[in-house]
Chains A and B, each alone.
Chain A
Amino acid sequence: MKGLRLIEFRIDRRSGVATYLQLVHQVKQALRLGLLGPGDRLPTAREVVEQTAINPNTVLKAYRELEREGLVEPRPGLGTFVRRSLVTPGVAEDSPLRGDLLEWMERARGYGMGREDVEALFRSVLDQRF
C-alpha cells in the first residue's frame, strides 16, 4: 500500500536509545500531538522497514509494547490500529495552556534569554514539579 502514511518514523542510530523505544516514543508523540487518533492504522512492519531499513522484529516489538500499554490493538488480517488518543486538552493547538506558555516564552526572550537558558529553566521547574 503506497501513498501517504500517517506517521513517518525516524531512527537515530547514534542516540543510544533502543530502536524499538524510539518507535514507541514517536508513536506516543504523534498520539499526544493528535497526529494519530483512534481508528488510525499504524504502518505495517514491512512499510516501516521499507522506510527505515530497521529489523522488522523491532517494529513488532514496539507495537507489542504499545499494545501492552493499551494504546493500540492488532486486528488480525487488517493491521495495528490506534485505540485511544493521548491528546490532553492542554496540548491542543488552541488550548489556553499553550497560549500561556507561548506568552511566557515571549517574555523570556524579552529578558534576553537564549534557547539553552530557557531549556535549563524549563527543565529545572519540570523536575521540581513532575
Chain B
Amino acid sequence: MSVAVLARGLGLRRRRGEASRDCSFELAAGRVAALVGANGAGKSTLLKVLAGLLRPAAGVVEVTGEVGFVAQEKPLYRSFTVAETLRFGRVANPGWDADRADRLVEEAGLPREARVTRLSGGQRARLAVVVALARRPDVLLLDEPLSEMDPVARQETLRAIMVAVAETGMTVVLSSPVMGELEGVCDHLLLLDDGAVRLACDVETLLADHRIVVAPLGADFGAHRVVETREGERQVTAMLRVTPGLDLPAGLVSEPSLDEVVVAHLRRAGVAA
C-alpha cells in the first residue's frame, strides 16, 4: 500500500532554540486519520506543515499528490458571494470539479448569491469544506472542520467527505477536539502531545490492544502496559495496553470505546508533561 503522508523527525517546536525532532509517522493512502491532542499540542501546526504553509523547524515531510487544506479559521473571502467563492475555486484549480461543487452547495442549502459575511459560522465552515472537496485533492487536511456546525451539518459534512473518500480513495487527516463524532469515520489515529506523535496506529488495532480491567487493589498487571489507573477503596480500574499472548490479570475485563482509549492516553500525556 502506498504512503500518502510521511513525516520523519519533524520538529514542530523549538526548545531552548533547538528544534524538537520527535514527530514521525506515516499514513497509507486512502486512510482517514483523526488527529487528536490537547489544545496547544501542535495539531494546527502539524496540519499547516503538511499543507506546505509552514516550514518545520526540522525534519522531512512528504505528501503524495494534491493537498487540500481547510484551516481552523475556515478562511474565505468575506466580500465574495457563495457563487464567487466557487468561481475562485475554479480559477485557482485546474482540477476543479464544478459538478461536485454545485451538488455539495445545494446539499448544504447555501444560497449562491449570499455574501460570505452573511453566512453563519457553520455555513461558512461547510463552504470551506466544499471548496476543499471540489478541487479533488489526493490528501485532504481539515483542521477542526466540524467545530461550528450543528449536528445535522456535522453529519452531512462527514458524509460528503466519506463519499469523496469512497469515490476517489483520497487520504484524509482531520483534527478534532472530541473523538465521539469520529467513531466509525476514522480508521487511523494520530495522537499528538507537545509537538510529538505519541500514538499513530490503526483504530481497530488500538481497540483490540486495550482492555479495561477492574481488579482488587494491589493487583499485578504483569507485562501489560498500564496506560492509566484509578484507585477506589477496594479495587483498581486500569486501562491496559495488552501484550499479546499473555493472560489478562484476574478481574472484570471489558473492551474500552475509542473515546476512552484516547482520553486515557491524552491524560497520561498531560501528566507526563
Interface residues of A (CB under 8 A from B): 11, 13-14, 16, 18-20, 45-46, 49-50, 52-58
Interface string of B160-195 (1 = CB under 8 A from A): 001101110000000000001101111100000000
Contact of B187 (CB < 8 Å), options: A50, A52, A53, A58: A58
Alpha-carbon distance A83/B165, docked complex (angstroms):
28
Say whether B155 faces chain A, with CB atoms less than 8 Å apart.
Answer: yes
Alpha-carbon distance A54/B163, docked complex (angstroms):
9
B204→A56 contact, CB < 8 A = no
B166→A46 contact, CB < 8 A = yes
| Residue tally, chain B, CB below 8 Å to A | 24
Contact of B181 (CB < 8 Å), options: A13, A16, A19, A46: A13
Which A residues lie within 8 Å of B187 (CB)? 55, 57-58
Interface of B is mostly: helix
Contact of A49 (CB < 8 Å), options: B31, B166, B255: B166
Alpha-carbon distance A20/B205, docked complex (angstroms):
13
Interface of A is mostly: helix
A11→B184 contact, CB < 8 A = yes
Say whether B158 faces chain A, with CB atoms less than 8 Å apart.
Answer: yes
B166→A53 contact, CB < 8 A = no
Q: What is the distance, in angstroms, from B194's C-beta to the closest C-beta of chain A?
A: 29
B31→A13 contact, CB < 8 A = no
Say whether B147 faces chain A, with CB atoms less than 8 Å apart.
Answer: no
Alpha-carbon distance A58/B166, docked complex (angstroms):
11
Chosen A-B contacts, 17 in total, with CB atoms closer than 8 Å, are: A13-B180, A14-B257, A16-B255, A18-B207, A46-B163, A46-B166, A49-B163, A49-B165, A52-B184, A53-B156, A53-B158, A53-B162, A54-B162, A55-B32, A56-B162, A56-B166, A57-B187
